[in-house]
A and B are shown apart, each in its own frame.
Chain A
Amino acid sequence: MKAGFLPKLLIAPSALLVLVCVYGYIMFTIYLSFTASTLMPQYEWVGTANYVRLMGLENWSVALSNLWVFASLYIVIAMALGLTLAILIDQKVRAESGLRSVFLYPMALSFIVTGTAWKWLLDPGVGLEHTMQTLGWSNFTFGWIKDSDMAIYCVVIAAVWQTTGFVMAMFLAGLRGVDSEQINAARLDGAKSWQIYQRIIIPQLGPVFISAFVILAHMAIKSYDLVIALTNGGPGRSTWLPSVFMYQYTFTRNEMAVGAASSVLMLVAIGVVVLPYLYGEMRKVKNG
């Protein structure tokens, strides 16, 4: 069936809005990153000076190394936990739908709420440490969130808690999609449960792994609200991520051009993760 004129007309306004408000402003940001903008946008061209300055900034390298630690741990742990939970739920347990909801629930919260709740939980004065000590475990200490070297791991904990259920749901859908004929055949041949998972089911979950990775990776790169609510970038500057850097430099340090340069680099990073995936999907649609 050939699309007529009406569908195109209906889609046009939103397409136009996206074109201007998303792609137009991406172009504008890229342009700004080559100008001498400070407090307000200016259009004096300065070439790559902002990128050079950005690369030399201590805060940027701190933000990058934090992102590296945060993203790798967050992706690996969320995937491992999600897969484990999915496999456990897949054992035809009782009250499966109830458990699914329990694990999925954190996803319904915004990162601001998650961050604030975990901020209190992890605070030594009111949270976990305090509770354990009042329960009588007097030498229990857990002060990571106040420790510059460990605070970034607190961000990982909260982020993993938020997303694991969602990753579990993805894997669960994948597990349910595996052909039961093969599994039954394997069982007849006397394969044990863990062997079936290891050799038959998990290898068939490739596409789910890729989808989960793409979703988690772009979430990690654009994380902002969680860090702001949980630690506000502190103690000191120890939990800055590139997004925090971007906001700080653009809006509080009056260095709009440097902020724009950092956001362009973040866009490139997300592009590197997402584009191959999109390309693969497109090819599937074409060939499928």
Chain B
Amino acid sequence: MKKTIMGVALAAAFSVPAMAQQSVEVLHWWTAGGEAAALGVLKGNLEKQGIKWNDMPVAGGGGEQAMTAVRARVTAGNPPTAVQMLGFDIQDWAKQGVLADLNDVAAKEGWDKTVPAALQRFSKFNGKWVAAPVNVHSTNWVWANKEVLAKAGITADPKTWDEFIADGEKLQKAGFIALAHGGQPWQDATMFDGVVISTGGVDFYRKAFIDLDPKSLNSPTMLKAFDRMSQLRKLVDKDFSGRDWNVAAGMVISGKAGFQIMGDWAKGEFIGAKKVPGKDFSCFRVPGTQGVVSFNSDQFAMFKVGADKVAAQTKLASAIMEPGFQSAFNVVKGSVPARTDVSDKDFDDCGKKAMKDFAEANSKNTLVGSMAHGHAVPASIKNAFYDVITRHFNGQIDSKKAVVELAAAAKS
């Protein structure tokens, strides 16, 4: 008898009172100015619906620290409502059986029709929606300082690889740094995305980086791709090693360098420095990759939460997918919306071009996941590829050996 009373008393003491206000807890690594502002839009939209937003920012660009924080929370049985995630990480978490099922809201709002299939590959697991995509970045872009190009006597954007290299040499002759680049493994790999597509075309890229076909990985085409990386290596300055990507973008902005090969998050740096697309700087696809988009997409993976929090979580997912928000967010972020039915009227020149390319790639089936950003192969193989690409770019192995090691890395 005494025990029962104790039990009841304990249960009363420890039972959580029903929340008067619904709330969501969102873990992300968008702490930089523009990104934080863009996320503020989402926060505002939710607060209008009476849902409190508990921000859980974890600094660190690639989200490594964020993943460590998630691990701890999930192990403790108290996951956040939603976590910003990329590509295969979503699938890895889904395999652990800790993600929520968003199929009801997805069916009601027709996500299956509006989100490109290439993205759904990551947002869904075993036929269930587990994440809501916020944006689509693409990695095969070149950013160029128009004034610097003019000074070096370059009048038009290079259309082919050879023109691009020739223009680079012109820039060097004129006393500029041809290619602004930061020697970090992920940046080397970001360039490699575009180089492989331009060398072998989209089908080759698919075979090599998505199907991990050993014949394609260890092929003359891949050898040529590595040789092209060596050509790029000659266009960077000698102090490139370890430089952050935004510092490299700054070199193009300030007129020290002509080109940068980088994903479209670089545009934010140009806009932030009050530069106008089409006037001060130009954006074009890595020569030889026009018509193909190698993408990476930020998504919010939804974790299994207590029954009292599900309603708020569903509203969050639906607010993320809402076209007005997708447009507002991506205008600031430099990316394109993750759904194909959003108008491009608020976007600048580069943004409009990106949306056109994205729609075209989606309809022609040339939208491929970026290897460098974890949308082609899982983390372990991605990093093994990084090892090879980076060592080759730093001159530790030659192209022949790099091809052999790349094929070996696919098995790691």
A residues near B (Cβ < 8 Å) are 38-41, 57-59, 123-125, 143, 145-146, 148, 231-232, 234-238, 248, 251-255
Cα A40 to Cα B77 with chains together (Å): 13
Q: B residues within 8 A CB of A143?
A: 238
Category for how many chain B residues contact A = 20 to 34
Q: Are B380 and A254 closer than 8 Å at their CB atoms?
A: yes
Number of A-B residue pairs at CB separation under 8 A? 71
Known: A143-B238, A251-B68. A237 touches B390 (CB 8 A): yes
Q: Are A146 and B239 closer than 8 Å at their CB atoms?
A: yes
Q: Are A237 and B238 closer than 8 Å at their CB atoms?
A: no
- Kindly state whether residue B215 has any CB partner on chain A within 8 Å: no
Cα A234 to Cα B412 with chains together (Å): 21
- Mark contacts of B254-283 with chain A using CB atoms, 8 A cut-off: 1 yes-contact digit, 0 otherwise: 000000000000000000000000000000
* Complex A-B, nearest 9 residue pairs according to Cβ-Cβ distance, in ascending order: A125-B239, A236-B394, A236-B391, A235-B241, A146-B241, A236-B390, A235-B394, A254-B379, A39-B92
Q: How far is the CB of A25 from chain B (nearest CB, A)?
A: 13
Cα A226 to Cα B165 with chains together (Å): 38
Closest residue of chain A to B64 (Cβ to Cβ) is A252
CB within 8 A of A234: which of B74, B93, B183? Answer: B183
Known: A41-B75, A238-B396. A253 touches B242 (CB 8 A): no
Q: A residues within 8 A CB of B126?
A: none
B residues near A (Cβ < 8 Å) are 64, 67-68, 71, 74-75, 92-93, 95-96, 183-185, 238-239, 241-242, 378-380, 383, 387, 390-391, 393-396, 405, 412
Cα A143 to Cα B183 with chains together (Å): 15
Q: Are A234 and B383 closer than 8 Å at their CB atoms?
A: no
Closest residue of chain A to B71 (Cβ to Cβ) is A40
Q: How far is the CB of A179 from chain B (nearest CB, A)?
A: 52
Q: Are A40 and B383 closer than 8 Å at their CB atoms?
A: no
Q: Are A124 and B183 closer than 8 Å at their CB atoms?
A: no
Q: How far is the CB of A170 from chain B (nearest CB, A)?
A: 34
Q: A residues within 8 A CB of B405?
A: 58
Q: A residues within 8 A CB of B74?
A: 40
Q: How far is the CB of B247 from chain A (nearest CB, A)?
A: 11
CB within 8 A of B96: which of A39, A148, A231, A251? Answer: A39
Q: Are A251 and B64 closer than 8 Å at their CB atoms?
A: yes
Q: Are A254 and B92 closer than 8 Å at their CB atoms?
A: yes
Q: A residues within 8 A CB of B71?
A: 39-40
Q: How far is the CB of B178 from chain A (nearest CB, A)?
A: 17
Closest residue of chain B to A151 (Cβ to Cβ) is B241
Q: B residues within 8 A CB of A253?
A: 379-380, 383
Known: A231-B242, A252-B64. A237 touches B380 (CB 8 A): no
Cα A253 to Cα B93 with chains together (Å): 13
Known: A41-B75, A252-B379, A252-B383. A232 touches B391 (CB 8 A): no
CB within 8 A of B391: which of A38, A41, A237, A248? Answer: A237
Q: A residues within 8 A CB of B241?
A: 145-146, 234-235
Closest residue of chain B to A59 (Cβ to Cβ) is B387
Cα A124 to Cα B243 with chains together (Å): 12
Cα A232 to Cα B74 with chains together (Å): 29
Q: B residues within 8 A CB of A146?
A: 238-239, 241-242
